[in-house]
Amino acid sequence: MQESMIIAPVAESEVPYAVEMRNIYKAWPGVVANDHVNLRVRKGDIHALVGENGAGKTTLMNILYGLLHQDSGEIYINGQPVHITGPRDAIKMRIGMVHQHFMLIPPLTVAENIVLGHEPGSIASVYDVKKARAAILELSRQYGLPIDPDVRVEKISVGLQQRVEILKMLYRAADILIMDEPTGVLTPQETNELFDVLRGLVAQGKTVIFITHKLREVLALSDTITVLRRGKNAGELLTSGTDQAAIARLMVGREVLLRVEKTPAHPGPTVLHVEDLHAQSDRGQEILHGVSFDVHAGEILGIAGVEGNGQSELLEALTGMRKSTKGQISITQVTDGQPGTTRDITVMNAREERRAGVAHIPEDRRGSGLVLTAPLYDNMILGRQGWPQFSWKDFVLLLRNIASWAKKLVAEFDVRTPSADVPASSLSGGNQQKVIIAREIASDPLVLIAAQPTRGVDIGAIEFIHRRIIEQRDAGKAVLLVSAELDEIRSLSDRIAVMYEGRIVDTVTPDATEEQLGILMTGGTIR
Amino acid sequence: MLFFQVLFRVLQSSDLWNATLGFAALLLLPALGGLISERSGVVNIAMEGMMLTGAYAGVMSALATQSVFGGLMGAMVAGGLMALVHAFISINFKANQIVSGIAINLAALGLTNFLLFVQTGGQGVPSLKDSLRLPNISLGPISHIPFIGPVFFQQNIIFYVAILILIGIQFMLFHTNIGLRIRAVGEHPQAADTAGVNVYLVRYLCVISSGILSGLAGAFLSLGIAGIFNSDMTAGVGFIALAAMIFGKYTPWSTGVACVIFGLGEALSIRLQDSGISPDLLSTVPYILTLIALVGLIGRTTPPAADGVPYYPGSE
C-alpha cells in the first residue's frame, strides 16, 4: 500500500489523459531509475513532477521524449498506446521538451535553432531564411513571445534562450510541453514571466509537465502533482488540496524542517576584508570591476546574483585560484571578540590561503571539491595532507592517523557510506557534499567560504548542511555564502550583498523582498 | 643569391602554376572530405588510407572494365567502403576516432600491397594505356590566353570536377537545409537529436562522403597523374590534406586557399631542385605553415564543438 492512496486522488475524468505512463521500469546496472512508475496528466493541466535529485523525474521525461527507452511499461498519448523510439517519434506525437541544459547550438541563429530538423522546404532544398523568419515571427506574435530571429543564440540572455526553446516546441506544433527545471537559471522576474507564458499556453489548449524540486513553484503554478521518491511513485495530488509540508514529506519520506532555525547574529570585528578587487575572466576581459565588502566574525554574508555576474571569479580570486589584477584581500585573526593580527592574503595561492585559515566549499563539487576516484579518507585530508598529524615532514603519509580521522568525520557529519575506503564517486551528491563540508569545517578556519553548498543535494541533507553552516557562524567564524538559490541566501544570511556585472550593487538585510532582490540582481536600484 | 634568381625565374613560369593547381586539386578533394566529416563531428585522419585504397581500386577496376569510368566508380566505392568502416567504428562503437583513423591508414597500406602482389603475381600493374587514363582537357579558346590559359584551362578533368565540388560543398554547408543539419550535428548532437535530426544518419552520410571524395582523389592520382599504381603512392598527400583543412579553419573556401599554398610548396620543391637549397627542406614549408596555423597566429582555428565526441542518445 503506497502512501499516495491516503492523499486525495486526481478525479477520474471522461476525457482520456493527455499523457499516461503505466508501470514504467528503467534500470541501469546497479541503479533502478524508475521502478514501476505511473504518471497521469490531464489535458489542459499544468502538472508538476516533483522529487529530489535522483528521484527519476528527468529519466521518466526522457523516456516520454524518446531519448531513453523503458525496460518495461506502457505509454498512452490521448488514450492511444504509443511506442516512442526517439525524439522524432515524440515530435510527431506533438510532445515537446525543454531540457534543464538548453539544447541550443550557440553559433547558429535563433531562427536556425528553431527550425532545425523541420526546416521550410525539403531536406535537400536551399535553406529559406525568409520563410523561417516569417514562420517564427508569426509564432512569436501568436503566443506573445517577442524574439529577434536573426541574432546568434550565443549573444542572447539565458531568459531569451529559454524563450527560443519554448518557440522551438511551438514551431513543432507540440501540444504536450515538458519543462525540466526551467527556473534554475532565471531571476525572480523572469520566473514570473515564464509562469505567465505557461499559463497563457495552457489557456490556448496546451498541456504542461513541469519538473521541479522547488515547492513554492509547485504551489504557485501547477494544477496537479506527481511526487517521485527514489524512483517510485510517492503520491499524486491536487495542488489545491495540499501544502509545502505535505509535498516535502512525500518527497523525503519523513517530516522535514523547511525553515532554517537560527538566532540573531552577534557580529564581531571584521575578519575578511575585500577592497576594490579587480580580476579578469578566462578570456582576459575584466570581469570584477572593484568589489569591496567585509565579513565579520559570527556573521553570514550572502552574495546573491544571477549566475555569470562574476561570482565564480570572485570565489576564485578569494581562494587563491585566480590572480586579481588590483585590490586587496586581508584576514584578521579574532580571539575572544578582539581583533588580532591582520594578514594580507591577496597574492597567496590556494595552499597558503588554507594555511592562513580560509576554508572553501567549492561550487563545483565534482570538479574541484573532490577527487572522485580517490577513497574518502584521501578526500577527507585533501589540501591538508601536509599537516603534522597527517604526514611526516609533509612527505610520508601517516595512513593510520588519516584513517582514524576519516572515520571520525564520517560519523560526526553523518556521511552515509559503507566505509571510508570507498571512492567518493560511489556516494550520492548529498553525501559527497557532506564529505567536503566535514573536511572544511574540521580544519577550524577563520573564514568559511561556502559556494552553492546545497546544489544538487536532497532536502534532508540540505537541512543538515544549513544547520552546520549556522553552527559555524555561532562559533564566531566569518561565513561568506554564495548561492544561486535566493531562498537559501535569504534564510541563511545576516546581510545580503547583491552582485551584478562584476560589482556589488547594494547590500541589504535578509528581510528584503524577493522582488527587491530581483530588481537589484538585474541592475536596478531600490533606493 | 643563386636561390633567389632561380626562384624568381621559376615563379614566372606557367608550368609551375599549372603544377601548383594540379597538386591543389589533388589535396582539395580529401581535404573537403575531411572537412565534411569533421563538420558532422567525426574526426577523420584516414583520408590517406582511403585515397590509397581508391588509387588501387581505380587501376584495378579500370583494367577489369577496360573503361576509365569503371575505374572512377571502383575508386569511389572502395574509398566509401573504407570510410564506412571508420563510420561504424566511430559512430556505433564510439571508439577513439584517431586510433580508428591510424588503423585504417595502416590497413590500407598493407591491404593494397597484399592485393597488388596476389592479383599481379608479384609483377605489379603495367602502365595504363591512354584510353584508361583520366584525360587532360583544354577548355577551347580560353586555354590559349597567354599564361592564364595554360595555368587554369589546361588541367586534368578532375581539376574542374574538384572546383565544382568545392563550390557545391560551400553552398551545401551554408545555404541548404542538410548543411544546417550537418553543422548542428557537429556542434551539439544532443540538441540536433532533440530537435528531430537523425544524428547517426547525418554522420554516416558525411563520413562516407569523405571516403568517396578521397577515393576520387586516389583515382586522380593513379588514373590521372601517374597512370600506374605503385605501393604507397599517396606518400602523405592525405595528411597534407588534413593539414590544409585545419589551415583553412574547417571552411571550404579557406581550405581551397590552403590547398593552393600547399600545392605551391609541393610544386616549388620539385622545380627548385638545382637552386642550392635542399628540396627536402623546401618541402617542409607547408608543414611549418600548418604548425603556425595551429598555434593560432593566423587567427584562431576552432574545430566544431562536438568534433571527435561520440554521441550517446539520452546523455547531456
Question: What's A18's domain CATH number?
Answer: 3.40.50.300
Report yes or no on A257 lying in a domain. Answer: no
Residue B194 contacts A where some CB pair is shorter than 8 Å = yes
Residue A66 pLDDT more than 60? yes
Burial B41-63 (b: 16+ CB within 10 A, else e): bbbbbbbbbbbbbbbbbbbbbbb
CATH code of the domain in which B91 resides: 1.10.3470
| Cβ distance of A65 and B313 shorter than 8 Å | no
Residues A377 and A498 in one domain: yes
Which run of H or of E encompasses A278?
A: strand A270-280
The mean pLDDT value of chain A amounts to 90
Cβ atoms within 10 Å, residue A515: 12
Residue A179 contacts B where some CB pair is shorter than 8 Å = no
Residues A56 and A141 in one domain: no
User: What size, in residues, is chain B?
Assistant: 316
* Cell output for A277: 578587487
Q: How far apart are CA A107 and CA A125, in angstroms?
A: 22
Report yes or no on A56 lying in a domain. Answer: yes
> How confident is the model at residue B87, as a pLDDT?
97
> How confident is the model at residue A12, as a pLDDT?
58
Report yes or no on A412 lying in a domain. Answer: yes
DSSP 8-class letter at A483: -
| One-letter amino acid of A369 | G
Q: Helix B252-271 and helix B237-247: axis angle, to 10°?
A: 130
Pairing assessment for the beta strands A46-50 and A391-392 based on DSSP bridges? unpaired
Domain ranges, residue A335? 270-521
Task: From chain A, pick out residues whose CB is under 8 angstroms from the CB of B201.
Answer: none
Report yes or no on A437 lying in a domain. Answer: yes
Q: How far apart are CA A425 and CA A203, in angstroms?
A: 45
> How confident is the model at residue B12, as a pLDDT?
87
CA-based end-to-end distance of chain B:
61
Residues A341 and A400 in one domain: yes
Lowest mean pLDDT among A104-113, A461-470, B281-290: B281-290
Report yes or no on B83 lying in a domain. Answer: yes
Cell numbers 541550443: residue: A104
CA-based end-to-end distance of chain A:
56
ipTM score of the complex?
0.88
Domain ranges, residue B91? 9-135+155-294
> How would residue A188 be classed by pLDDT, with cut points 50, 70 and 90?
confident
Which residues are paired to A74 by β-bridges?
A: A22
Q: Which of A126, A148, A171 is the last residue of a domain?
A: A171
Q: How far apart are CA B87 and CA B211, in angstroms?
A: 10
Q: Which of A154, A171, A188 is the last residue of a domain?
A: A171
> How confident is the model at residue B293, as a pLDDT?
64
Rounded to the nearest angstrom, the minimum Cα separation between A355 and chain B is 38
Mean pLDDT across the stretch A209-228?
92
CA-closest candidate to residue A204, choices A249, A173, A228:
A173
B residues 59-118 closer than 8 Å to A (CB)? none
Residue A10 pLDDT more than 70? no
Task: Give the CA count within 13 Å in the CB-facing half-sphere of B188.
Answer: 17
Residues A393 and A293 in one domain: yes
Task: From chain A, pick out residues whose CB is under 8 angstroms from the CB of B190.
Answer: 103
Residue A168 contacts B where some CB pair is shorter than 8 Å = yes
Q: How far apart are CA A350 and CA A29, in angstroms?
A: 39
Nearest C-alpha in B relative to A58: B314
The shortest CB-CB distance from A87 to any of B178, B194, B305 is to: B194
Report yes or no on A264 lying in a domain. Answer: no
| Cβ distance of A119 and B192 shorter than 8 Å | no
Q: How far apart are CA A483 and CA A485, in angstroms?
A: 5
A residues 53-82 closer than 8 Å to B (CB)? 62, 65, 67-68
Report yes or no on B207 lying in a domain. Answer: yes
The shortest CB-CB distance from A116 to any of B175, B180, B190 is to: B180
**Which of A69, A112, A116 to mutate to probe the B interface, most B CBs <10 Å?**
A116
Q: Are B82 and B60 in contact (CB under 8 A)?
A: no
Report yes or no on B316 lying in a domain. Answer: no
Pairing assessment for the beta strands A299-304 and A495-500 based on DSSP bridges? parallel
> How confident is the model at residue B296, as a pLDDT?
62
The number of folded domains in chain B is 1
Report yes or no on B310 lying in a domain. Answer: no
**Cβ-based burial of A267 (10 A; exposed 0-12, middle 13-18, buried ≥19):** buried
Which residues are paired to A77 by β-bridges?
A: A19, A80
| Cβ distance of B313 and A168 shorter than 8 Å | no
Rounded to the nearest angstrom, the minimum Cα separation between B252 and chain A is 18
Task: From chain B, pick out residues whose CB is under 8 angstroms from the CB of A101.
Answer: 316
Task: From chain B, pick out residues whose CB is under 8 angstroms from the CB of A125.
Answer: 176-177
Residues A332 and A420 in one domain: yes
Cell numbers 576581459: residue: A285
> How confident is the model at residue A166, as a pLDDT?
95
**Which of A89, A99, A105, A112 to mutate to probe the B interface, most B CBs <10 Å?**
A105
| Cβ distance of B313 and A97 shorter than 8 Å | no
Residue ranges of the alpha helices (H) in B139-196?
Answer: 148-152, 157-175, 177-187, 189-194
The number of folded domains in chain A is 3
> How confident is the model at residue A1, as a pLDDT?
32
Q: Are B58 and B68 in contact (CB under 8 A)?
A: no
Residue B180 contacts A where some CB pair is shorter than 8 Å = yes
The mean pLDDT value of chain B amounts to 91
> How confident is the model at residue B298, as a pLDDT?
59
Q: In what order do the strands lie in the sheet with A478-482?
A: A358-361, A447-451, A478-482, A299-304, A495-500, A503-508
Q: Are B268 and B282 in contact (CB under 8 A)?
A: yes
Report yes or no on A527 lying in a domain. Answer: no
Residue ranges of the alpha helices (H) in A188-320?
Answer: 188-203, 215-221, 244-252, 311-318
Q: How far apart are CA B2 and CA A517, in angstroms?
A: 76
Report yes or no on A259 lying in a domain. Answer: no
> How confident is the model at residue B294, as a pLDDT?
65
Q: How far apart are CA A414 and CA A395, in angstroms?
A: 31
Maximum mean pLDDT: which of A61-75, A176-190, A299-313, B5-19: A61-75
pTM tops 0.90, yes or no: no
The shortest CB-CB distance from B180 to any of A65, A86, A119 is to: A119
Residue A118 contacts B where some CB pair is shorter than 8 Å = yes
The SS3 call for residue A288 is strand
Residues A161 and A188 in one domain: no
Residues A298 and A331 in one domain: yes
Residues A244 and A360 in one domain: no
Residue B314 contacts A where some CB pair is shorter than 8 Å = yes
Task: From chain B, pick out residues whose CB is under 8 angstroms from the CB of A97.
Answer: 194
Q: How far apart are CA A441 and CA A453, in angstroms?
A: 13
* Cell output for A211: 519538473
Residues A65 and A26 in one domain: yes
Q: Are A497 and A504 in contact (CB under 8 A)?
A: yes
| Cβ distance of B187 and A116 shorter than 8 Å | no
> How would residue A5 be classed by pLDDT, with cut points 50, 70 and 90?
very low
| Cβ distance of A86 and B175 shorter than 8 Å | no
DSSP 8-class letter at A367: I
Mean pLDDT across the stretch A365-387?
90
Residue B127 contacts A where some CB pair is shorter than 8 Å = no
* Cell output for B302: 576552432
Percentage of chain A with pLDDT > 90?
65
Report yes or no on B145 lying in a domain. Answer: no
Report yes or no on A439 lying in a domain. Answer: yes
Q: How far apart are CA A173 and CA A167, in angstroms?
A: 10
* Cell output for A6: 491516503
CA-closest candidate to residue A87, choices A24, A174, A200:
A174
Q: How far apart are CA A410 and CA A420, in angstroms?
A: 7
Q: How far is CA A323 from CA A278, A312, A459, in A?
A: 9, 13, 36
CA-closest candidate to residue A136, choices A123, A118, A122, A154:
A118
Residues A446 and A407 in one domain: yes
Q: How far apart are CA A309 and CA A242, in angstroms?
A: 37
Q: Are B93 and B79 in contact (CB under 8 A)?
A: no
Report how many Cβ contacts below 8 Å link chain A to chain B. Answer: 86
Residues A166 and A210 in one domain: no
> How confident is the model at residue A410, as a pLDDT?
93
> How confident is the model at residue A8, as a pLDDT?
45
Q: Are A19 and A41 in contact (CB under 8 A)?
A: yes
Residue numbers of chain B with a pLDDT score lower than 70: 1, 290, 293-294, 296-300, 314-316
Q: How far is CA A341 from CA A310, A345, A473, A477, in A?
A: 30, 13, 20, 16
Q: How far is CA B32 from CA A124, B18, B134, B167, in A?
A: 19, 21, 21, 11
Task: Give the CA count within 13 Å in the CB-facing half-sphere of A500.
Answer: 15
Which run of H or of E encompasses B156?
A: strand B154-156
Report yes or no on B203 lying in a domain. Answer: yes
**Which of B194, B249, B251 to mutate to probe the A interface, most A CBs <10 Å?**
B194
Pairing assessment for the beta strands A232-238 and A224-229 based on DSSP bridges? antiparallel
Residue B302 contacts A where some CB pair is shorter than 8 Å = no
Q: How far is CA A333 from CA A233, A316, A477, in A?
A: 52, 22, 10
Q: Are B112 and B54 in contact (CB under 8 A)?
A: no
What is the dihedral sign for C-alpha A104, A106, A108, A111? positive
CA-closest candidate to residue B247, choices B47, B96, B35:
B35
| Cβ distance of B177 and A121 shorter than 8 Å | yes
pLDDT per position as a tens digit, A379-426: 999 988 888 999 998 899 999 999 999 999 999 998 888 889 999 988
Nearest 5°: phi and psi at A468? -65, -40
Residues A189 and A275 in one domain: no
